[in-house]
Structure 1
Amino acid sequence: MTIGESVGVAERPRTEGARRLAEAATPGTFVVLWSSAFIAGVIGLGAAPPLLLTLCRFALAGMLLAAVALVTRAPWPRGRALGHVVVAGLLLQAVQFGAFYTAMSLGVTGAVAALVQGLHPVLTALLAVPLLGERVSRRQAMGFALGAAGVVLAVAERISSVGGGVLLCVAGLLGLSFGTLYQKRFCPGMDLRSGQAVQLLASVPFIGVLTTTLEHPAVTAWGPFAGAVLWLALVNSIGAFTLLYLLLRRSQASRASSLFFLTPSVTALMAWALLGQPLSALTVAGLAVSGAGVALATRTVRPAPVAAARSAS
């Protein structure tokens, strides 16, 4: 063995270890980044109307990703693939965030919006059976039940503030769930640079028409508005969605979606730490129960050594 070969052999365990560490950290990182969108949304909505905030988020993130795709010469979707990418983007971006942020502007708290969104794993699991042919095991079903219970516990004391905005939250939930399944089925090999750029930029005219017809687009505080747009565009539209698409590629849609059970509790924790909103014992209990549900729903069951040995022989 030459010196170069020995160095290559030594580097393989390090590379493999780094890859496994990155994969293990991806779910937790995704939950934190995704939950932060509600906090940034609260700050941004104090400075501008919801659809204007959403429009600027999409435009900035879309242009940045388009520039990255052009510089790195990423392949762009064409023909039928382009149409599928656009449809998934309108559902995941325009419908979801346009509805959720409008609901929050009507008085729905970030925690309650996260509560409705936290039901995404149950809806996705139910829809994935007929649409994607996925199977839900008894263990996963128990995990979904625990996760849903944790979601309710996390924000049980704040449900009274929902009001009529709950219908918009449900619309956002449907956009997220149907968009996730559509992305999983029709856009599995989408380039994450060019594909996300197309999805975001396709949502810009849709939201633009709505904000000019339904709102009086004006910014009342440029500092908070600019900070919220930058965070939502860079951290959420680019960072969190990239992690979501990676998770969808690695596992079933229902399993990846189970992480959304954690977002209501994590959002409540962030609101307590950053916005001074009170943190109750029910929120802490909800975090624990949701975590147990996610662990149960996403745990990979390995075959017993005896069974593995028999199958190998």
Structure 2
Amino acid sequence: MERDDLKLAETGGEAPPTPAPEVTSVPAWVSAGIPAVFVVLWSSAFIAAVIGTDAAPPLLLTFSRFAVAGVLLTVIALVSKAPWPKGRLLLHVVVTGLLMQAVQFGAFYTAIGAGLPGGVVALIQGFNPVLIALMAGFFLGEKITRQQWLGFTIGGAGVALAVAGALHFSGTAIVLSFVGLLGLSAGTVYQKRFTQGADVRSSTALHFLASAPVMLVMTLTLEEPKVTDWGAFGGSLAWIVLINSVGTFLLLNFMLKKQTASRVGTLFFLTPAVTALLAWLVIGQTLSPSAIIGLVLGGVGVLLAARK
């Protein structure tokens, strides 16, 4: 009791404040699970795109995705009082958004709308870490090892085999898939190089807001923007916006802030196999034997190329 009275006297008769509880860090299993969740959610976008492009033209679906997601993320950024980029940083964020959103998904959705299987599109997109490594070697002077060159060769053979099995589809669709790959890879490297100081919430919102007008002009000039199945269109759009546009890109931007671009890029080598499995389970879409072999070779090649 005397010690307690002494402490009260030293503090002016008031009990000393109770120490604040320590803030625990994010559990390790949560951090470890984020990449796996990202891969599954990212892969599901191809399935939703197949459903959506059966119900409406691809560029209309792309515009609708960007417009709705842009408004939703803008509200989130404003409510959470996220800082908005200004000046040169704003310009870099816009360029990143045009590459990662307008170029990538405008091209991918048009390819899927032309009938190219989601698994083949995902395989081409899965070559993203290889292209990132090549860009890093060319623009940043990073050394490319023999193992990476071996991975490039095997992965390239896998992509060629899968694409050869899909040549009965539009050749333009295959070219567009590679254009989408270029947009994603260039956007990833550009974002890592120039927009590290941007807030994830506001920058992702600006990605969509900058890309939506481009897609609007394209859908009005290049196709007839008409929905033939509002149920399928609304369902796929809701999934693409809430899960893929908001969820996966917040996860992607978060991981890009915490890890190197090449390490994040390695996750994309898993998406072709996951996409093919989801396509079979959800919409009954199957791949030819050559495409399946190409899928396996592509995954092995990209894995080799992405490993340090």
Q: Shared topology, TM-score over 0.5? A: yes
User: Does the 8 Å CA contact 1:117/1:173 hold for their aligned counterparts?
Assistant: yes
CA 1:171/1:281 → structure 2, altered by over 3 Å: closer, same or farther?
A: closer
Tell me the TM-score normalized by structure 1: 0.82
* Partner in structure 2 of residue 222 of structure 1: 230
Deviation at 1:183, TM superposition (A): 0.7
Structure 2: which 5+ runs fail to align? 1-15
The structure where helix makes up a greater share of residues is 1
User: Please, what is the CA RMSD of the aligned residues?
Assistant: 3.0
* Partner in structure 2 of residue 266 of structure 1: 274
Deviation at 1:294, TM superposition (A): 6.6
How many Å separate the matches in 2 of 1:119 and 1:291? 9
* Partner in structure 2 of residue 42 of structure 1: 50
- Which of 59, 63, 77 is the matching residue for 1:69? 77
Q: Is 1:182 paired with 2:190?
A: yes
User: Does the 8 Å CA contact 2:156/2:298 hold for their aligned counterparts?
Assistant: yes
Letter aligned with residue 108 of structure 1: L
Q: Is 1:163 paired with 2:178?
A: no
How many Å separate the matches in 2 of 1:145 and 1:268? 23
CA 1:242/1:6 → structure 2, altered by over 3 Å: closer, same or farther?
A: closer
CA 1:250/1:181 → structure 2, altered by over 3 Å: closer, same or farther?
A: same
Q: How does 1:10-21 map to 2 (within 5 A)?
A: 12=24, 15=25, 18=27, 20-21=28-29
Q: Is 1:212 paired with 2:212?
A: no
How many Å separate the matches in 2 of 1:165 and 1:223? 26
SS across alignment from 1:46: helix
User: Does the 8 Å CA contact 1:30/1:240 hold for their aligned counterparts?
Assistant: yes
Q: How does 1:267-306 map to 2 (within 5 A)?
A: 267-278=275-286
Identity %: 54
Moved more, 39-48 or 235-244: 235-244
How many Å separate the matches in 2 of 1:27 and 1:233? 19
CA 1:115/1:298 → structure 2, altered by over 3 Å: closer, same or farther?
A: closer
* Partner in structure 2 of residue 306 of structure 1: none
- Which of 238, 260, 264 is the matching residue for 1:256? 264
CA 1:282/1:246 → structure 2, altered by over 3 Å: closer, same or farther?
A: farther
Structure 1: which 5+ runs fail to align? 301-313
Deviation at 1:158, TM superposition (A): 4.2
* Partner in structure 2 of residue 122 of structure 1: 130
How many Å separate the matches in 2 of 1:251 and 1:298? 14
Letter aligned with residue 88 of structure 2: R
Moved more, 289-298 or 49-58: 289-298
* Partner in structure 2 of residue 243 of structure 1: 251
Deviation at 1:143, TM superposition (A): 5.6
